[in-house]
Amino acid sequence: MIVKNKFSGDQFIELKDTDLPDAKTVLNNAKKAFQEMKELPSFEKYEALMKISKELVNRREEFARIISNEAGKPIKYSRGEARRASITMLFSAEESKRIYGETIPMDVESRGKNRWAFYNRVPIGPVFSVTPFNDPLNLVAHKVGPALAAGNSIVNKPASLTPYSGYKLNELVNNSGLPENAMQTVIGPGGGEVTDYFLKSDEIKKVTFTGGLEGAERLIKKAGIKKYSMELGSNSPVIVWNDADLEIATDAIVDASMESQGQNCIHSQRILIHKDVYNDLSKKLVEGVAKLKVGNPLDDTTDVGPMIAESEAIRVEKEVNSAVKNGAEVLIGGKRDGRFYLPTLVTKVRHDQTLWHNEIFGPVSILQPIQNFEEAITMANDVPYGLQAGIYTHNLDIAMKAVQNLEFGAVLVNDTSDFRVDVMPFGGMKLSGLGREGIRFAIEEMTEIKLAIFRK
């Protein structure tokens, strides 16, 4: 069925379960494709992945409009995502030629005398990936690129609200020269029968998931003993010390707080500001947020679009209203209009409130004064998540202590939490996930070590 998007009138296919092969056929296809993929020489994988990357470059505007239509992401950010997806596939191509092993010195003890050993990395087998709505193209690329580079086949289940970006990427894979069904797409609700079929199958050797904690817990219970990679979000802090450049910090924090309507796992949710600069920075942040344009995501001048669904906007509204009833103060925003929730800054949020403790996943950030470094670290760590954190300071001692004491997978100095280059090891501590993404690191997660020992 052809549908028109309400923002643009763009036409694209509304995918249904009946439009794609049944789950059993897809799994059999994945098994067959893996037998070919694992034998594929590196140069062929490289050439195919490079072709996909170049197609994403050439069709950047097409993919950007699909992203904005599906997810409501402002077009300027969708163009950035399409560009990142092309880079993700480029890095995957490059890393397909660098899957190394090494020799092991067996004679380090007497029983190893006259033995020589080496190991290499081999593909793990068919991979099942589950991807979210907020980056519906690049987060698919982050699963698919490394899986194919490693020599696996992959079945991707995109978010049911944003299936088309991943489906179109699948078309590029199909036309890249890789074996047939190297990548396949299945659709349907995340907790549905289609998803469960792949989770429960012994033929699926690896599950890679980006999403929420509840979804991850349900997934593991269904899938049982398998290899997992999971990126489960966060509640990221940014510490602003009293020697920070406030102009630079303001622009970056406003963007990190409101980009993609805050529907971003490294969204800067809690801004912890030294008391000496709190009043000045708070004023600057409110002024910066006030300048943001809320509207049609396909308008080049739009900064903040609609949330993925009205139910999500209602959820955010309820969490902010609950905090306000318990003493919080809204500095700007705090209102909802259908799927739109206005960019919002709040202060005086109690630390027992869900707005402080949980991931808001919306265009809301908390401003909190801090008295000293110890208080800043305690507050920053006072959540069950630990993906990324930022700190603004020119004091090297403070910066190093922050890196040592913040319980997060990455600490960014003189930057917000909302930064990622797609080669870096990306993942968190505590409930923020298992394993690391980033192309080389994801390939390691999608391969197994095979050791060979020769006796002389």
- The CATH number assigned to the domain holding 189 equals 3.40.605.10
Mean pLDDT of 53-59: 98
Q: What is the pLDDT of residues 224-240, one digit of tens each?
A: 999 999 999 899 999 99
Give the residue-averaged pLDDT of 22-29: 94
> How far is C-alpha 259 from the chain's CA centre?
14
Contacts of 275 (CB under 8 A, 6+ apart): 242, 369, 370, 371
Q: Cβ distance 323 to 349 under 8 Å?
A: yes
d(CA 19, CA 17): 5
For 269-321, what is each residue's pLDDT tens digit? 999 999 999 999 999 999 999 999 999 999 999 999 999 999 999 999 999 99
Report how far residue 286's alpha carbon sits from residue 291's, in angstroms, rounded to the nearest whole number: 9
The range of the structural domain enclosing residue 402 comes to 236-422
Query: 3-class DSSP state for residue 453?
Result: strand
Same domain flag for 108 and 168: yes
This model's pTM is above 0.85: yes
Note whether 177 and 268 are same-domain residues. no
**Residues 6+ positions from 419 with CB-CB distance below 8 Å:** 266, 388, 390, 412
Q: Are strands 206-210 and 127-130 parallel, antiparallel or unpaired?
A: parallel
Answer yes or no: do 47 and 82 share one domain.
Answer: yes
Count the helix, strand and coil residues of the chain and give each as a percent rounded to the nearest 5: 40, 20, 35
Give the model's confidence band at 1: pLDDT under 50 very low, under 70 low, under 90 confident, else very high: very low
Structure tokens at 73: 């992401």
179 and 242 fall within a common domain: no
**Distance between CA atoms of 117 and 228, rounded to whole angstroms?**
28
In a domain, 63, yes or no: yes
Query: With bands split at pLDDT 50, 70 and 90, how would you rate the model's confidence at 4?
Result: very low
Element (H, E) at 70: helix 60-71
Q: Which residues are catalytic?
A: 231, 265
Domain check: are 30 and 166 in the same one?
Answer: yes
CA distance 30 to 182: 7
Is 91 within a domain?
Answer: yes
Residue 228 counted as domain residue: yes
Q: Does residue 188 surpass a pLDDT of 90? A: no
Shared domain for 373 and 442, answered yes or no, is no
Residues 214 and 247 in one domain: no
> What is the CATH classification number for the domain harbouring 289?
3.40.309.10
Tell me, yes or no, whether 130 lies in a domain: yes
Residue 363 has pLDDT above 50, yes or no: yes
Determine the Cα–Cα distance for residues 98 and 102; give it in Å rounded to an integer: 12
Q: 42 burial class (0-12, 13-18, 19+ CB within 10 angstroms)?
A: middle
Decide if 427 is inside a domain. Answer: no
Quote the pLDDT of residue 193.
86
Do 254 and 337 belong to one domain? yes
3-state secondary structure of 43: helix
pLDDT at 11: 57
Would residue 64 count as lying in a domain?
yes
Same domain membership, residue 247 and residue 120:
no
Same domain (yes/no): 98, 44:
yes
Give the pLDDT score at 117: 98
Percent of the chain with pLDDT over 70: 96
Query: In the predicted model, what is the mean pLDDT of residues 396-417?
Result: 98
pLDDT band at 445 (very low <50, low <70, confident <90, very high): very high
How many whole angstroms separate alpha carbon 177 and alpha carbon 156? 19
The predicted pLDDT at position 192 comes to 82
- Ramachandran category for residue 25: left, alpha or beta (phi over 0 → left; psi -120 to 50 → alpha): alpha
Residues 298 and 218 in one domain: no
130 plus 166 within the same structural domain: yes
**How many domains does one find in the chain?**
2
User: Cα separation of 88 and 257, whole Å?
Assistant: 24
Proportion of the chain above pLDDT 90, given as a percent:
93
